[in-house]
Amino acid sequence: MHGEIAAQAGLQRVLRGVKVRDVMDAEPASVNPNETVADLVNERLMQIMSSSFGDVLELSRLHKVNMRTAAYMLAISRVATVHRLRGIYA
């Protein structure tokens, strides 16, 4: 666990001052070239976390289980969906 935290901290240090314009090939209209890569990553992470929290909360209320159980149910459901779509050896 500590190794994961150290790796994440190292990645944040590396990305902290990097501007988007320094790493992109073409300038997409939706990205501010002066925004840092770390800001973009954090923004996307917050979107994913908010969406996932809502999914878990909805499942928790629907099945009347605690959030931890609902998170397990959602994770298993997502893995099963990918397994069905890609097959066992993909």
- Residues 19, 33 contacting (CB under 8 angstroms): yes
- Residues 68, 53 contacting (CB under 8 angstroms): no
The two three-digit tokens of residue 54, written as one number: 């809502």
- Binning pLDDT at 50, 70 and 90, where does residue 71 land? very high
Look at residue 45 and tell me whether its pLDDT is greater than 70: yes
Mean pLDDT of the chain: 79
> For residues 27 and 11, what is the distance between their CA atoms, to the nearest angstrom?
24
Spatial neighbors of 27 by CB under 8 A, at least 6 apart, are: 21, 33
